[in-house]
Structure 1
Amino acid sequence: MQKATLVILCAFCIGQVYDCEVTGRFDMPYMFKRGDIMIGGIFPVFNKEITSTDSFKMEPLDVMCEGFDLRAFRWTQVMIFAIDEINKDPALLPHISLGYRILDSCASPTNTVRAALTLGSETDGMEATSPCPPAISALIAESGSSQSLAVTETLGPFQVSYFSTCACLSNRAKYPTFFRTIPSDYFQAKALAALVKHFGWEWIGAIQSDNDYGRNGVLAFAEEVKKLKICIAFIGTVLRTYPLDKILKVVEMIKQSTVKVILAFVPEGDFYPLMREIVKQNITGIQWIASEAWITAARPSTPEMYQAFGGALGFVVQKMNIPNLYPFLMNINPYRDPSEPFVKDFWETMVGCKPSSNVSDTGAAKICAGNETLMDHTQDVFFNVSQLRVTYNVYKAVYAIAHALHQLVFCRPAGEKNVKPCLNVSEIHPKEVSNSAKELQQGFLLLGND
């Protein structure tokens, strides 16, 4: 705990003139590219943290994660793609380069805090005894509402989320530097209640995830359906880290109930253990209502899951296209920079072999021959860039930050020619970027007090 405390003290000296000393770091892999202005990113590249028991007699073990998530990995690549695109744009932040530092949250609030503190400490190559400037000027994080809450309550830099929808994050008094490129669940709860009313369903069940997203979502939905005289028979609670016996209790709740319509207000990863048991026990005949977190996810659409969850209804995030993203994704290669984190995991998941020259590092995995390409996998949903939803929210978040930075540095909006800086890049602080973003909210659908 001592190390974490020291890192916190360092992180909060942002904007002060005192010397900053970091006596310890969390050993977290990250994608990195240096730039004049650094942007942080936190994504659930792996979707489950392997829990361990601490004795409090020694330093905690390094965090271990499992379940590589192709969807989240694509979010990291879109952040990199957007930054590269901006760096080539002469009209947006001219003669100023954006850099990035991207870490994995493991879809865990605890690990998200570790990632935030890592981003809040000094950047690579900075002397430990130098003044403590902001390591990042803005942060793109996170997908889960509990994870976003953990960041904004712990570190609180200018933060833009791409998938955190909890209405609780709309409290500007508590979270003045939090923004998002997706509407809050306040609107989704109203829409889902209207959907239930439209079909004349008066007796339904509900499943919530045991986190801020699920609990607040079902609470808001319950308040709306109560106004419409619709009754909720039961509320089951699930989480990706729950033991099997807790999942089975929810299964029994569903089997014993007479309801034929169930709302599931859960992220895909938290819902998946319950989905597997429902399919395993051949529970069919239920009309599922989905929250936006899983209605367009890939796993519920597999032939295995479709028999139980086919025909689910829900509201989706608007789909968009990003020009030139497809060739960028097709250019991902683990041999270009073997030390780049997460890319080997992507290759092993997508291609089916492990790109390693070190035989002892491959374990039981098949070793790549070295001539494999992504051309044989172009039909995978990972490369489908025609219906981008959350991915496009990440893209918008990067551009919103870039325009806020441009406005701050040049004191005028992007697009004008022959602009000169009115602020030195070294003087940028996250709070100032946040204030600049407030002026751009409507133009970028950057939502704060929504």
Structure 2
Amino acid sequence: MGTRAVFIGLRLTLGLFELTSLVGLPGLVHGLKIQFESAEPLKTSGVTTETSSVKCTLQGNSGLPAFSTYGDFVIGGVSSIHYQRYAVIYNYTTEPESTRCKGSFNARGLRFTRTIIFAIEEINNSTELLPGITLGYRIFDSCVSVPVSAHVAFQLSNGEDPLFYKGMNCSQSGVVMAAVEDSGSSTSISISRILGSFNIPLVSSFATCACLSNKQQFPTFFRTIPSDHYQADALAKLVKHFGWTWIGAVHSDSDYGNNGIASFLEAALREGVCVEYTESFFRTDPRRKIQRIADVIRRSTAKVVVAFTAVGDMRVLLEELALDPPPPRQWIASEAWATDSELMRFSFCAGAIGVAIQQSFIPGLRDFLLDLSPSKVAASSVLTEFWEDAFNCSLTAANNLNKRDCDGTEDIKKLKSPYTETSQLRVTNMMYKAVYAIAHAIHNAVCQEKNATIQCNKHIKLEPKQVFKELKDVNFSINGYNVSFDANGDPVAFYELVNWQRGDSGIIELVTVGYYDASLPTGQEFHINRNLTWMDGETQVPVSVCSESCPPGTRKVLQKGKPSCCYDCIPCPEGEISNMTDSPDCFSCPKEFWSNPKKNACFPKPVEFLSFEEILSIILAAFSVSGAFLAIIIAVVFFNYRTTPIVRANNPELSFLLLFSLTLCFLCSLTFIGAPSDWSCMLRHTAFGITFVLCISCVLGKTIVVLMAFKATLPGNNVMKWFGPQQQRMTVLALTFFQVLICTVWLVLSPPFPMKNLTTYQEKIILECALGSAVGFWAVLGYIGLLAVLCFVLAVLARKLPDNFNEAKMITFSMLIFCAVWITFIPAYVSSPGKFTVAVEIFAILSSSFGLILCIFAPKCFIILCQPEKNTKKYVMNKN
């Protein structure tokens, strides 16, 4: 064997060595081993070199394709016609047998396979695409098995001739230009890794794993079906759209399921969806594991289940759920099983929603699929098996296992089977487009347009890497659908949203209710344009949440140790609101606003002040006016009886001035009622301070006069000349002027002003008069208190003076009441809230004013009006 041939064989083996983990060493050798034999040795310069012709022998028995035909350029195909394979035992003592498929027949997979043939025949009959060139095909059954798929990839790479001659090279003999397949992601990964080593492009119509977009690992992989990256995003947006934040998730334990669910969980997290459980399984798992997963679904509180599974896996799970009364669940289907008609027999799945490949129509395909004559069926073992399985009859005696013989009455046009179901072509169209994409790539590589005619060279030595290069740039339309690939070999993602709706006959039907277009701007990709039905035939959207939504006026508080979708709703505190559903926080209202009782909106705080409309104000005003009228009536009585001894004995001038000041005291309390303003705030405090000083000054003057009058009766005492009427007026004026001076300084430097008190009450605004200068306010009160104490002391000294009607005693009582009122006023004023502060001040003014007028003038008026016989000079001077 020549050295160059050895090197070539070694290079081929090393390039595929990493695949032994996928198929096992015996299987790898069985599919790979090539024997090199020299024909005629050549001698050059005395050295024997490699032969001019190399005979290459493929070792072992390679599996036969399910369908094949020769052509100028051959396209490979991998389809899942069966669901299982025969188990091959490797004992390393005998040569292992070829892998074979067995188990239930996949009529849907046969439709995909026949679609490849239909597309190739359609291209061969075309005058525009590859004119004059015939495409061949070699289509293998993968059995939905990774080892079988890897073995098929070897066969597509090596060719099928057991013995062939090449000039100097045994590699790449009879290799296909490209391959199409309808297998899942796991099988696509193994096939792509093998074919990619030889730059053979693989175009998939079914593998959706986002991992296959990695061009570092899968440089020659293309697909006409969208990546799961977009499907996961669509499913997450679908779940969020209906308000489901608490869901369960099951997925196939395969590359498709594992990668798909990982992408979905990431997208769901972005959408704020929580997952109660995530379970993985495979159809070949022990039944106890499938039972456990079914029990998890039954016991869960989540009403929505997202199933990122292959058709075969989902069938196993649904069969297990159907054994017991299945739980009412809203199923969300991935595109792998969302449109499978066989699964629609599970009635408890009615209402399922899923994403699906866009449906389409392929002209002429149905007629091609139904064009199966007995001769065509008998010529193919695969078609024979399909026919016998579909009609439950036997075409040959060897296959007659208690089946009737097929008698020719079988009508495929009346057959209800996934093979004949062409009303909603989805993956079938993806397969159709994949074949045309390869054909366009070959066309661009071998054809040129000259003089408005297309000329193709079928004798050109076309390499798969040339087809791979041209595939990157294909861009064409077929049956109204555009076909192109991005830098990752992916198409533009477009999904239909489908709903399993129960028809009038009770049979579940597939209804398209919307779409998801990844090419649209963010937020506009998802649309629903038809009514949906839900689990158990409900017309209302089912609820699946861990916790009910928190209404406005509450906030979410996460439950300890649980996902973020599980929370308690806590009412907002006073003064705070939340105006949206599921608010994480409450927000404080602005200073002059307060929360409503429902805590979902802020409204202006009520403004509170002592208004004239309030009962308390009316009562205080009534006492104020009554006191003023009482002072005026007493003044009238005193004026009418001004010549009587009692009036003359009690210093009439000061008495009238005192009654005038008391009238002002009563009326000044009215300035405290009503909404504070700049003028009312300044007036109420200054008027109160000045009128009370005037009042106390008059009382003090009367007290001093009484004391001095009795002092003057002593021999040689001439003190009364200093306390005559003129001096009395000057004393009152001087004392009052000092208070006027204090008030003036207060008003000039820091006068009282209206203000909104926002601190005393949080829920309302107190409109009140701020003191401006607290020193000024307490100086005014302090001066009044000083005069009152002085007056009280003098009155006490004069309380036992010898006259029958001792005015000093009455002044003592009046000052005692006055001082008691104002001493208690201070703590009451400081501690009273809001408008009651003003009420306390008015009450103090009225109480002290009534104390003065009643103690000083009531006894005199009683004698004047009721006991006139005592209104004599003799009685007044009587010591008793």
Same fold by TM-score greater than 0.5 = yes
- 1:112-191 counterparts in 2 under 5 A? 112-124=149-161, 127=164, 131=170, 132-156=172-196, 157-191=200-234
Tell me what 2:683 maps to.
none
Equivalences for residues 277-356 of structure 1 within 5 A: 277-302=320-345, 305-306=346-347, 308-336=348-376, 338-356=378-396
Contact 1:334/1:344 (<8 A) preserved: no
Which of 53, 72, 75 is the aligned partner of 1:39?
Answer: 75
Matched residue type, 2:411: T
Matched, 1:395 2:432: yes
Which deviates more from structure 2 when the two are superposed, residues 230-239 or residues 398-407? Answer: 230-239
Please give the alpha-carbon distance, in whole angstroms, between the structure 2 residues aligned to 1:222 and 1:416: 57
Q: Pick closer, same or farther for the CA change 1:256–1:25 going to 2, 3 Å.
A: same
- In the other structure, the counterpart of 2:281 is 238
Which structure 2 segments of 5+ residues have no match?
1-24, 35-52, 477-481, 491-880
Contact 2:33 2:59 in 1 (8 A): no
Which residue does 2:251 correspond to in 1? 208
How far 1:447 moved relative to its partner?
Answer: 5.4
Aligned to 1:418: 453
Q: 2:411 aligns with which of 364, 369, 373?
A: 373
The one-letter amino acid of 1:420's match is: Q
1:86–1:92: 8 Å Cα contact kept in structure 2?
yes
Asked if structure 1 preserves the Cα contact closer than 8 Å seen for 2:54 and 2:165, the reply is: no
In the alignment, is residue 60 of structure 1 matched against residue 96 of structure 2? yes
Change (3 A) 1:64 1:87: closer
> Does 2:112 align with 1:75?
yes
* Closer, same or farther: CA 234–118 of 1 in aligned 2, 3 Å: same
Q: Pick one of 377, 382, 406 that aligns with 2:419.
A: 382
Q: Deviations over 1:376-397 (max 9, x none)?
A: 32x5453232320000111101
User: Does 2:406 match 1:363?
Assistant: no
Return closer, same or farther for 1:391/1:399 CA change in 2, 3 Å cut-off: same
Return the match for 1:407 from 444, 454, 462: 444
Of 460, 470, 484, which residue of structure 2 is paired with 1:445?
484
d(CA) in 1 for partners of 2:227 and 2:118? Answer: 26
1:4 paired residue among 20, 28, 32: 28
Q: Which amino acid aligns with 2:150?
A: V
Alignment correspondent of 1:89: 126
In the alignment, residue 186 of structure 2 is paired with which amino acid? S
Q: Secondary structure of 1:204's partner? A: strand
Give 1:439's aligned amino acid: D
Displacement of 1:337 in angstroms is 5.6
* Distance of 1:170 and 1:439 partners within structure 2: 17
Q: Percent identity?
A: 36
State the SS of the aligned residue for 1:84.
helix
Structure 2 CA distance for aligned equivalents of residues 118 and 208 of structure 1: 32
* Distance in 2 between residues matched to 1:224 and 1:300, nearest whole Å: 27
Q: What is the CA–CA distance in structure 1 between the aligned matches of 2:278 and 2:437, rounded to whole Å? A: 38
Question: Is the 8 Å Cα contact of residues 3 and 24 (structure 1) preserved in structure 2?
Answer: no
Bigger Cα displacement from structure 2, 368-377 vs 217-226? 368-377
Residues of 2 paired with 1:128 and 1:351: CA distance?
46
How far apart are 1:49 and its partner, in Å?
2.7
Q: Distance in 2 between matches of 1:75 and 1:93?
A: 23
List alignment gaps of at least 5 residues for structure 1. Answer: 11-16
Residue number in structure 2 paired with 1:13: none
**Residue identity opposite 1:360 in structure 2:** A
Letter in 2 for 1:227: R
Tell me how far apart the structure 2 counterparts of residues 438 and 196 of structure 1 sit (CA, whole Å): 35
One-letter amino acid matched to 2:470: S
Q: Which one is further off, 388-397 or 361-370?
A: 361-370
Q: How many residues align?
A: 436
3-state DSSP of counterpart to 1:237: strand
- CA deviation profile, 1:113-147 (whole Å, cap 9, x unmatched): 11111222224486256654342111002420001
CA distance in 2, matches of 1:18, 1:147: 34
Question: 435-444 or 343-352: which moved more?
Answer: 435-444
The residue matched to 1:48 in structure 2 has which SS? strand
AA aligned to 2:235 is: L
Check 1:268–1:86 CA distance in 2 against 1; reply closer, same or farther (3 A cut): same
Q: Distance in 1 between matches of 2:451 and 2:289?
A: 59
Given that 2:107 and 2:418 are in contact with CA atoms closer than 8 Å, whether structure 1 keeps it comes out as no
Q: CA deviation at 1:431?
A: 1.2
User: Which moves more between the two structures, 339-348 or 119-128?
Assistant: 119-128
Q: Distance in 2 between matches of 1:447 and 1:48?
A: 35
For the 8 Å contact 1:22–1:128, the answer to whether it is kept is no
Aligned to 2:315: 272
Q: 1:281 to 1:110 in 2, by over 3 A?
A: same
Contact persistence 1:189–1:221 (CA under 8 A): yes
Match of 1:14 in 2: none
The change in CA–CA distance for 1:407 and 1:231 in structure 2 (over 3 A counts) is same
Q: Which residue identity is paired with 2:352?
A: A
- Could you state the TM-score of these two structures normalised by the residue count of structure 2? 0.47
Deviates further, 205-214 or 128-137: 128-137
Would you say the 8 A contact 1:31–1:102 is kept in 2?
Answer: yes
Give the secondary structure class of the aligned counterpart of 1:60. Answer: coil
Report if aligned partners of 2:206, 2:225 keep a CA contact under 8 Å in 1. Answer: yes
Contact between 1:334 and 1:347, CA under 8 Å: does it hold in 2?
A: no
Contact 1:400 1:446 in 2 (8 A): no
Query: Which of structures 1 and 2 has the larger relative contact order (alpha carbons within 8 angstroms, sep 6+)?
Result: 1
Q: Shift of residue 367 of structure 1?
A: 2.0
Quickly say closer, same or farther: Cα 1:195–1:129, change in 2 above 3 A: same
Q: Alpha-carbon deviation of 1:258?
A: 1.5
For 1:416 and 1:147, the matched residues in 2 are separated by 45
Q: Distance in 1 between matches of 2:30 and 2:101?
A: 23
The residue type equivalent to 2:32 in the other structure is I
Query: Deviations along 1:310-367, whole A, 9 cap, x unmatched?
Result: 11111110010011112111112343362413101211222221222xx233223332
Instruction: Supply the distance in 2 between the matched residues of 1:76 and 1:447 (Cα, whole angstroms).
Output: 26
2:176 maps to a residue whose letter is I
Find the aligned partners of 2:112 and 2:323 in 1 and give their Cα distance: 31
- Is the aligned partner of 1:427 residue 2:465? no
2:301 corresponds to which of 237, 248, 258 = 258
Match of 1:48 among 68, 76, 84: 84
Deviations 1:181-227 (A, max 9, x none): 01100001111111111111111111110110000000001111112
Give the TM-score normalised by the residue count of structure 1: 0.90
Contact 1:334–1:343 (8 Å) recurs in 2: no
Q: CA deviation at 1:162?
A: 0.4
Shift of 1:276: 0.2
Q: Secondary structure at the match of 2:111?
A: helix
* Distance in 2 (alpha carbons) for counterparts of 1:175 and 1:169: 6
Query: Which residue identity lines up with residue 401 of structure 2 in the other structure?
Result: G
* Cα contact 2:144–2:184 (8 A) shared by 1: yes
Q: CA deviation at 1:424?
A: 5.3
44-53 or 78-87, larger mean C-alpha shift: 44-53
